[in-house]
Structure 1
Amino acid sequence: MSKFEESNLNFDFNEVEWNVIKYDDHPAHKKISNGVQPTKAVDFLGIYDDKKLYFIEVKNYRGYTGDPKTQEVLKAGGEELMRRIAIKVRDTIAGATNAARFSTNEKNFFIRFNEILLDDTKKIVVIAWIEFDEMNEKERKAKMGVWQQKLKQKLSWLHAAKVSINSVNEANGILPETEISFM
């Protein structure tokens, strides 16, 4: 398993099926973000079964939902949060494209990333993994459904993208061959 920790969540990706990098910490992203600010990045980039591209952004607001900064991000039906995630996807595509040309770290990963990105027969998957203090299950699902529609709208330029908003409670089957848990 490729094991990563992000926002007090553990992600264990099966190494046989997955090739995953922690992109927001990767030298390719750091090189760009040091030169052009602000440049944003998703937390993980993954290639599943050598043919499916995943952008994964993790936000864990558990215990912070009452915080004024968090409330600002979550207000208006999550509009600001979805805007921020869409920007991270956009900037990640630009950075990963550059990394295929110039990176000395995981160059083959970035070359394959771009091959899949440019193949219009391949589906791109954007997953926002969002944890927040729960109301009740019905309200939670309704809120996540609204957020998912907003993110789909903001990523409509990324044709053939599958957009999904999830939490640990709905982990089964969302990221294949992956175990997700709280620390």
Structure 2
Amino acid sequence: MSALHVEGRLSFSFGDDWQILKWDDHTAFQDGLKRFEGTRAVDFVGLLFGAPWFIEVKDFRDYRIENKQRLTSGELAKEIAWKVRDSIASMAWACQRTPLDRNDLGPFLRSLLGCKHKVPVVLWLEEDRPPTPAAASALAEAIKRELTWLNPKVLVMCRDLAEQHAIPGLVVTSQPAPR
């Protein structure tokens, strides 16, 4: 059974091989470390074939000018890194309060701690004009530099790049813009 999640104007359909949590809306985050000023979270944490994934969604369509500085200054790369860091910390904090075997965070944290491969960190970035492969690669490298402690595999994706670098079992579609 696939899971469908809407994030802004994008629908994310995760196939049967995924275990997915909408982390920034999850009760353990909302009632936990989010209460501390400045704590952030990625949109999704998931397991695909037992491997942990972090997915952050940014939809800059119709907001190109407002976000241009974030993209070119390194600010967005830092924001993604902070969200990954805070997501891991908030999941560990939540698990201290409930035994790992009795909550939905246990499988994710166990896989993260035992991971012998690079942890995928995905920035799903929709813009009015899709990023060029060179721009996506440069942004991925900037995020990777901010996350050296995690040793991640960083992907900057959008619907136009999804055919070239498909994520197994994930289909992203666009919703109409509000009128």
Q: Please say if residues 22 and 43 of structure 1, whose CA atoms lie closer than 8 Å, have aligned partners that are also in contact.
A: yes
- Normalising by structure 2, what TM-score? 0.88
Tell me the residue number matched to 2:53.
Answer: 54
Gaps of 5+ in 2: none
TM score, norm. by length of structure 1:
0.86
SS of alignment partner, residue 113 of structure 1: helix
Higher helix share: 1
Contact 1:53/1:123, CA 8 A, preserved across alignment: no
Q: Which residue of 2 aligns with 1:2?
A: 3
- Residue pairs, 1:34-113, within 5 angstroms: 34-49=34-49, 51-67=50-66, 70-76=67-73, 79-103=74-98, 107-113=102-108
CA offsets, 1:36-85, max 9 Å, x none?
A: 11100000011112x11010000000111023xx2332232xx0000000
Cα separation, 2, equivalents of 1:120 and 1:53: 8
2:20 maps to 1:20: yes
- Paired residues in the alignment total 173
Question: Offset at 1:142?
Answer: 1.8
- Displacement, 1:103? 4.6
Q: Give identity over the alignment, percent.
A: 31
Question: How well do the aligned residues superpose, as a CA RMSD in angstroms?
Answer: 2.1
Q: How many Å separate the matches in 1 of 2:153 and 2:84? A: 13
Deviation at 1:129, TM superposition (A): 0.4
2:161 alignment counterpart: 170
1:140 Cα deviation (Å)?
2.0
**In the aligned structure 2, how far is the partner of 1:118 from the partner of 1:33?**
20
Q: Deviation per CA, 1:21-45, whole angstroms, max 9, x where unpaired? A: 1000111111234431110000001
Asked if 1 retains the 8 angstrom alpha-carbon contact of 2:21 and 2:44, the reply is yes
Gaps of 5+ in 1: none
**Distance (Å, rounded) in 2 between the aligned partners of 1:162 and 1:75:** 21
The equivalent of 1:128 in structure 2 is 123
